[in-house]
């Protein structure tokens, strides 16, 4: 990369990181209680919640992993992203108003709080918190590693900066992340998400047009090149095939309603009725960002096949290489900042969820009360989780990190879709069914990953876990006597 291009990129990233620090300082004054730290005082407006929802869901995976998957498999992974509007609908129809109401009614500050209120079960609270914590550890490690990798690429491209190690980059990235998460809790997190979401949308739209113009013949030339090489790659199923790609459909649509870093934000809305205007913001923003996911992957695949770009060493290089060689310096700067934004917006949500599980949910389930001076311990837990995840990701086997990362989405989907998304809308659902669904999810997801079980047709393990846990949940609930529900919760469920 030439130096002026590298400097522009570096400038965008530095400005972005400074902005995060600034938001942290600003949010410090607004964070006075655990409810502020974990629930943003339940005072978020439509745009903040809407953009925070989609930017948390998109994550670094969408900006790096997504284009990489399209480069490698053609359109198979469009069943993860093109279905975005339907995924947000599932979350909103099932949970937006109900979770918000229960949050206010019971003054809950975490998802396991709401689960305990719904099922009148401390065991359900504990299992939910444990599932969240396990998923968080995996996700957080991969997000921190991704941040450090991107920062190292940016810094090492500037000629006058000496070679920077991954450890140094991890320290810098973690320091910024921890600073604004510790000072401002979820308040800082959602307001940085607001900026991050806006950057991601702008970046995605510009990249879409840049990708189409990078290939000879525009979209027609791109598709013709791909069809001549392999018509299956540009079919709706991609190279993975019909069953494999379709198995992502329900996992990413229904599974979206089980992602705690997304659905917890429903509890932070200022008003119940804000959900109405929040959905179009989230679904529209996600749809625009999907353009980046698809266009970079397809463009790089076509460029390599045409001979316009050397073959990539790894599919995950698709987005960085495209920006380096086929985008203007300004656009590369915006997208690198967008990439950082995507990673951080997910990481900060996970830090907050993990801290809530450690200082609030697990002690409450085990000892009947959360830690005293919860706000202080929440801040301590945030630091410990971030540093612990960074150390874990640096010194553990890389396949273990990848395993936990892959484990995250599938576990959340299989554990929390039945327990939360269905259970909060169906009064017959029992605590036993919820507990069985969570345990099944953990066993099946871990089992498939640890034992490397191959499922025919490339069907994803997360699909099997979700199908099994949800079917068991319905079966057990239908076969049990109706549970007792607290009258106020029942009244909310009847609305």
Q: Binding to another protein (CB under 8 A): which residues in 215-244?
A: 218-220, 223-224, 227-228, 230-244
Q: Does 19 bind another protein (CB under 8 A)?
A: no
Interface residues for another protein in 318-347 (CB under 8 A)? none
Dihedral sign computed on CA atoms, order 77, 51, 14, 23: negative
- Chain residues 285-314 in contact with another protein, contact rule CB under 8 A: 287, 301, 304-305, 311-314
Integer Cα distance of 314 and 116 in angstroms: 44
- The verdict on 14 binding another protein (CB under 8 A) reads no
- Residues 92, 139, 293, 392: which binds another protein (CB under 8 A)? 92
| Residue placing its CB nearer to another protein in the complex, 2 or 311 | 311
SS3 letters across the chain: CCHHHHHHHHHHHHHHHHHHHHHHHHHHCCCCCHHHHHHHHHCECHHHHHHHHHHHHHHHHHHHHHHHHHHHHHHHHHHHHCCHHHHHHHHHHHHHHHHHHHHHHHCCCCHHHHHHHHHCCHHHHHHHHHHHHHHHHHHHHHHHHHHHHHHHHHHHCCCCCCCCCHHHHHHHHHHHHHHHHHHHHHHHHHHHHHHHHHHHHHHHHHHHHHHHHHCCCHHHHHHHHHHHHCHHHHCCCCCCCHHHHHHHHHHHHCHHHHCHHHHHHHHHECCHHHHHHHHHHHHHHHHHHHHHHHHHHHHHHHHHHHCCCCCCCCHHHHHHHHHHHHCCHHHHHHHHHHHHHHHHHHHHHHHHHHHHHHHHHHHHHHHCCCCCCHHHHHHHHHHHHHHHHHHHHHHCCHHHHHHHHHHHHHHHHHHHHHHHHHCCCCCCCCHHHHHHHHHHHHHHHHHHHHHCCCCHHHCCHHHHHHHHHHHHHHHHHHCCCCCCCCHHHHHHHHC
Q: How many residues bind another protein (CB under 8 A)?
A: 102
If one asks whether residue 478 binds another protein (CB under 8 A), the answer comes out as yes
401 is a contact residue toward another protein (CB under 8 A) = no
Nearer to another protein, 287 or 387 (CB): 287
Q: Which is nearer to another protein, 3 or 273 (CB)?
A: 273
> Which of 126, 129, 137, 283 contacts another protein by CB under 8 A?
283
Candidates 52-60, 180-188, 197-205, 463-471: pick the segment binding another protein (CB under 8 A). Answer: 463-471
Q: Shortest Cβ distance from residue 239 to another protein (Å)?
A: 4
State which residue, 289 or 459, has the beta carbon closest to another protein: 459
* 391/491 with CB nearer another protein: 491
158 binds another protein (CB under 8 A): no
447 near another protein, judged by CB under 8 A: no
Query: Which of 172/205 has CB closer to another protein?
Result: 205
Interface with another protein (CB under 8 A), residue from 7, 104, 202, 480 = 104
Binding another protein (rule: CB under 8 A), the pick from 158, 164, 172, 270 is: 270
- Of 193-201, 266-274, 357-365, 391-399, which part binds another protein (CB under 8 A)? 266-274
- 123 binding another protein? (CB under 8 A): no
Minimum distance from residue 127 beta carbon to another protein (Å) = 21
CB-nearer residue toward another protein: 174 or 305? 305
Residues in the chain: 495
Q: Is residue 3 involved in binding another protein (CB under 8 A)?
A: no
Least gap, CB of 144 to another protein (angstroms)? 26
CB 321, min distance to another protein, A = 11
Name residues contacting another protein, limited to 33-62 (CB under 8 A).
41-43
**Distance, CA of 92 to chain centre:** 16
Q: For the CB of residue 364, give the shortest distance to another protein in the complex, in Å.
A: 17
Handedness of CA 271, 273, 277, 283 (dihedral sign): positive
Is residue 29 involved in binding another protein (CB under 8 A)?
no
- Assess 492 for contact with another protein (CB under 8 A): yes
Q: Per CB under 8 A, which of residues 417..436 are in contact with another protein?
A: 421-422, 425-426, 428
Site for another protein in 64-83 (CB under 8 A): 71-76, 78, 82-83
């Amino acid at each position: 990369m030439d130096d002026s291009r590298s400097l522009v990129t570096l400038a965008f990233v530095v400005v972005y990181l400074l902005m995060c620090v600034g938001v942290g300082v600003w949010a410090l004054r607004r964070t006075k209680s655990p409810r502020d730290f974990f629930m943003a005082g339940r005072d978020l407006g439509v745009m903040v919640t809407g953009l925070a929802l989609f930017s948390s869901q998109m994550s670094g995976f969408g900006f790096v992993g997504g284009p990489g998957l399209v480069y490698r498999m053609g359109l198979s992974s469009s069943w993860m992203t093109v279905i975005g509007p339907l995924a947000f609908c599932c979350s909103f129809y099932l949970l937006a108003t109900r979770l918000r109401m229960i949050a206010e009614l019971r003054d809950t500050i975490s998802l396991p709080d709401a689960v305990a209120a719904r099922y009148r079960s401390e065991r359900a609270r504990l299992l939910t918190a444990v599932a969240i914590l396990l998923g968080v550890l995996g996700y957080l490690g991969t997000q921190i590693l991704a941040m450090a990798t991107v920062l190292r690429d940016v810094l090492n491209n500037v000629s006058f900066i000496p070679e920077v190690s991954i450890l140094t980059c991890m320290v810098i990235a973690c320091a910024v992340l921890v600073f604004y998460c510790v000072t401002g809790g979820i308040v800082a997190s959602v307001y940085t998400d607001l900026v991050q979401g806006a950057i991601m949308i702008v970046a995605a739209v510009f990249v879409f047009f840049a990708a189409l113009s990078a290939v000879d013949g525009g979209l027609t030339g791109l598709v013709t090149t791909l069809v001549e090489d392999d018509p299956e790659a540009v079919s709706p199923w991609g190279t993975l095939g019909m069953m494999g790609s379709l198995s992502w459909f329900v996992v990413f649509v229904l599974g979206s309603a089980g992602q705690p870093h997304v659905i917890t934000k429903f509890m932070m809305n200022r008003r119940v009725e804000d959900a109405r205007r929040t959905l179009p913001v989230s679904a529209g923003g996600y749809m625009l960002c999907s353009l980046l996911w698809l266009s970079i992957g397809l463009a790089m695949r076509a460029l390599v096949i045409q001979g316009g770009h050397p073959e990539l060493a790894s599919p995950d290089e698709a987005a960085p290489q495209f920006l380096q060689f086929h985008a203007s310096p300004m656009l590369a700067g915006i997208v690198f900042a967008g990439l950082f934004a995507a990673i951080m917006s997910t990481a900060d949500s996970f830090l907050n969820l993990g801290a809530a599980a450690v200082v609030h949910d697990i002690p409450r389930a085990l000892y009947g009360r959360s830690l005293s001076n919860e706000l202080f311990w929440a801040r301590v837990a945030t630091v410990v989780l971030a540093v612990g995840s960074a150390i874990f990701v640096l010194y553990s086997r890389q396949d273990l990190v990848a395993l936990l990362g892959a484990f995250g989405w599938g576990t959340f989907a299989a554990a929390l879709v039945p327990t939360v998304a269905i259970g909060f809308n169906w009064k017959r659902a029992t605590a036993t069914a919820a507990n069985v669904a969570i345990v099944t999810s953990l066993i099946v997801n871990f089992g498939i990953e640890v034992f490397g079980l191959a499922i025919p047709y490339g069907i994803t393990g997360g699909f099997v876990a979700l199908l099994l846990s949800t079917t068991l949940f319905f079966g057990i609930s239908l076969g049990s006597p109706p549970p007792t529900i607290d009258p106020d919760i029942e009244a909310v469920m009847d609305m």
